[in-house]
Amino acid sequence: MAKIKAAFSPECAVPESILASDSQSKKNYFKTEGIITHSRLTEVSEALDLALASDANQIILIPGATGVGKSMVHHRKYEKLEAHYAATLEENCPEMPVLYSEVRSPRSKKFEWGAFARSILIQCVDIGMTRRNLMLSDSSRFPIKEMQKVLARKNSEQELMSAMEEAIESRQVRYLFVDEAHHFLLSCRDEYLMNLYMETLKSISNKGELKLVMDGNYELLRFLEGSGQLARRTKVINFSPYCASSSGDIEAFEEAFLSLFAFYPAKLSDGVMGRLEDLFVGSCGCVGILKQWMERALNSALNDNRDYVSWKDFESERLEPMALKRIAKDIRAGGALINSVSMDEVWSILMGGPEKESKSGSTKPGERKPGRDKVT
């Protein structure tokens, strides 16, 4: 039987103590420490910084496929702003400039705005409880003790929404980060509900100088269809995965893989290192999916008491083809949706007559370019 050729990353950053530790410690290390920055993540992070700095943007949408890193961008920016204000605000200061919420998937045909509002109020109370002197000196229009009373009693959805808006205004919230925001729309299947939900979000974002930052899948783009007034105040930052037809994207994906490999507490066999295209397709060009795949392959090898991970481990732990096909189709549909309306159509509506002839080539909005699926 031929000996397997395997090696650690030439840039290995794993401490010797981890390499000499038990399997569980190695698994935990890669999961918690294997957090990297790659080019697409940097592009979106920089675009978010610019959008937040502009007074013209009231709502910022970050749509993208599953596993591209939307939540990571969200969390990093939230934590950076939170740390900034924590260092500058007094301990008894009533201001809460940064809040974060994850939208739960609705359990009925109607979105539960009351539950969303309650989660914001709970966060305000939790933050207030960490400031030792605030509970005694809180003279704001809506004190923490009053929020606790609201949460302690049974309230209607409208009462909770009003309390949340009052909390946002009285606490001078400047940034509200909302994760999985497409869940707002899962129960929104007609024009009336769309307009109602848009007005609700507009009401929230109108409190003070609040910027509402929402990430989710490409359903988020439906927010642009409901209200022209809100659409003009909205900035869209598309978080696309790496594209197979771009040599630059393939190189960036390889760099991301090698960066993750540097935190891998195991060797990789030669059979893995020569399969960049397979790694790309098996993760749909999404670094988040790639990392989770690497985690599962590592667990497989360590459970088998091996110090190396083979391509066989990767094959056995790859997502099912049906799941990958679903993700790939979502990526295609998202790209088509982003480009579904051209300036030619706007020209036709405003100027009348036939659409202005496009000078950008023969490809229609949303139409896929030849060779896009091939990894080169």
| Each residue's pLDDT tens digit, 331-348 | 999 988 888 888 888 888
**Average pLDDT for 290-314:** 96
Q: Is the pLDDT of residue 221 over 60?
A: yes
What pLDDT was estimated at residue 368?
Answer: 41
Q: Are residues 24 and 139 in the same domain?
A: no
CATH of the domain at 116: 3.40.50
What pLDDT was estimated at residue 139?
Answer: 73
Q: Are residues 286 and 331 in the same domain?
A: yes
What pLDDT was estimated at residue 32?
Answer: 95
What pLDDT was estimated at residue 263?
Answer: 97
Q: Which of 178-187, 234-243, 263-272 has the lowest mean pLDDT?
A: 178-187
pLDDT digits (tens, 9 = 90+) for 42-99: 999 999 999 999 887 789 999 999 999 999 998 999 999 999 988 777 766 788 899 9
45 inside domain:
no
Q: How confident is the model at residue 135 (pLDDT cuts 50, 70, 90)?
A: low
Could you tell me which residues come within 8 angstroms of residue 227 by beta carbon, excluding any fewer than 6 positions away?
Answer: 195, 198, 199, 202
44 inside domain:
no
Last residue of a domain, one of 164, 197, 232: 232
Question: Percentage of the chain with pLDDT > 90?
Answer: 57
**Average pLDDT for 272-299:** 96
Q: Are residues 249 and 224 in the same domain?
A: no
43 inside domain:
no
What pLDDT was estimated at residue 367?
Answer: 40
Cα separation, 117 vs 299, whole angstroms: 40
What pLDDT was estimated at residue 356?
Answer: 57
pLDDT digits (tens, 9 = 90+) for 222-246: 888 766 777 788 899 999 999 999 9
Residue 109 DSSP label = S
Domain count, the chain: 2
What pLDDT was estimated at residue 365?
Answer: 34
What pLDDT was estimated at residue 52?
Answer: 93
Q: Are residues 205 and 165 in the same domain?
A: yes
* C-alpha Rg value of the chain to the nearest Å: 24
Q: How confident is the model at residue 132 (pLDDT cuts 50, 70, 90)?
A: low
Q: Are residues 63 and 207 in the same domain?
A: yes
Question: Percentage of the chain with pLDDT > 70?
Answer: 89
Q: Are residues 138 and 182 in the same domain?
A: yes
Q: Are residues 173 and 90 in the same domain?
A: yes
**Average pLDDT for 196-219:** 84
Could you tell me which residues come within 8 angstroms of residue 262 by beta carbon, excluding any fewer than 6 positions away?
Answer: 9, 11, 12, 13, 14
What pLDDT was estimated at residue 360?
Answer: 45
Q: Are 42 and 255 in contact (CB under 8 A)?
A: no
What pLDDT was estimated at residue 315?
Answer: 97
Last residue of a domain, one of 197, 213, 232: 232
What pLDDT was estimated at residue 310?
Answer: 96
Cα separation values, 291 from 208, 326, 335, Å: 40, 19, 23
50 inside domain:
no
Cα separation, 289 vs 294, whole angstroms: 9
What pLDDT was estimated at residue 208?
Answer: 66
Q: Are residues 172 and 288 in the same domain?
A: no
Q: Are residues 142 and 279 in the same domain?
A: no
**Average pLDDT for 275-280:** 96
Q: Are residues 303 and 196 in the same domain?
A: no
Q: Are residues 27 and 119 in the same domain?
A: no
What pLDDT was estimated at residue 179?
Answer: 93
Last residue of a domain, one of 169, 198, 232: 232
**Average pLDDT for 283-292:** 97
What pLDDT was estimated at residue 61?
Answer: 94
Give the residues across from 178 on adjacent strands: 101, 214
Mean pLDDT over all residues of the chain? 87
Q: Are residues 137 and 258 in the same domain?
A: no
Q: Where are the alpha helices (DSSP H) in the chain?
A: 16-19, 23-33, 39-53, 70-88, 113-130, 134-137, 144-152, 157-170, 191-205, 223-226, 228-231, 247-261, 270-273, 276-283, 287-303, 311-317, 321-338, 343-351
53 inside domain:
no
The domain in which residue 365 lies consists of 13-38+243-376
Q: Is the pLDDT of residue 278 over 50?
A: yes
**Average pLDDT for 281-303:** 97
Q: Is the pLDDT of residue 220 over 90?
A: no
What pLDDT was estimated at residue 357?
Answer: 54
